[in-house]
Amino acid sequence: MSLARDRVGTWIGWAFFADLASGLALTFGYMFSRSVTMQYPDKEKWLPYSRYRGHHFLKRDEGGEIKCVACELCARICPCDCIEVIPYEDEKGNRRPAKFEIDMARCLFCGLCEDACPADAIALGQQYEFSSLASRDLVIGRDDLLGKPGKATTGGGVVTARLNTEQDVLVETSEPQGYNWWRNIRRT
């Protein structure tokens, strides 16, 4: 009985285009919902999480000296053979890298060098904007690697992007697990 009534109701609905109307109402509602677009690189950019594997960087110890002991384990474990380390002995008698080059054009950002490092000297940081017009510019030397930004501490936030001239960034966050952008979208 109720099934038959439902069927009649459905037919009446179809006759007056209830389904079309509900579809129109849905799209109309979405038209006034927040947009999920991130205006990169015009306005804002995504700050990666702390576990993000971006551009490599070399660390220094408390004395300001490079941590790397030039053991070449990273070069050995690298699956695409993109790290080249040449050791030397400094004035204190420690083994240090005279040359530490990473070919970013070949790197696949697996993070194995970070895992292999016994001195906790190399890690993959938060920087991801290092495109270049020439692949030889992507060979990064030791001193450049020392200056690269480290791991992200908060992560997941939205910060000012490179091409932003208006300095009007919508969202900034200190949440460790990041800013849940889905939260602000009207969903039905």
Partner 1 sequence: MELIVALGLIVFKVALLIAILLLLPLPLTWLERKIAGHMQQRMGPMRVGWHGLLQPVADGIKLLTKEDHIPAEADRFLFKLAPILALAPPFVVFVAIPFGETVSVLGTEITLYVSNMNVALLFVFAVIGIEVYGVIFGGWAANSKYAVLGSLRTCAQMISYEIPMGFAVIGVVMLAHSMSLLDIVRAQADVWNIVYQPVGFFVFFVAGLAEAQRIPFDLAEAEGDLGAGFHTEYSGIRFAFFMVSEYAIVLLVSVLVVILFFGGWNGILVPLPPLLWFLLKVAFFVYLFIWFRFTFPRYRYDQLMAIGWKVLLPLSMANIIITGVAFF
Residue 181 binds partner 1 (CB under 8 A)? no
Cβ-based neighbour number of residue 4 at 10 Å: 8
Q: By rule CB under 8 A, what count of residues binds partner 1?
A: 17
Show the tokens assigned to 136.
Answer: 């030889």
Please choose, from the candidates 4, 47, 34, 26, the residue with its C-alpha nearest in 3D space to the C-alpha of residue 157: 47
Phi, psi of 102 (to 5 degrees): -120, 130
Show the tokens assigned to 143.
Answer: 């001193």
Binding mask 7-26 for partner 1 (x = CB under 8 A): -------------x--xx-x
CB 33 → partner 1: shortest distance, Å?
Answer: 6
Alpha helices (runs of H) in 44-111, residue ranges in sequence order: 73-77
Residue 42 binds partner 1 (CB under 8 A)? yes
CB 45 → partner 1: shortest distance, Å?
Answer: 15
Of 3, 15, 31, 133, the residue at the interface with partner 1 (CB under 8 A) is 31
Residue type (1 letter), 111: G
- Nearer to partner 1 by C-beta: 42 or 81? 42
Q: Under the rule (CB under 8 A), what is the footprint of partner 1?
A: 20, 23-24, 26-28, 30-37, 39, 42, 185
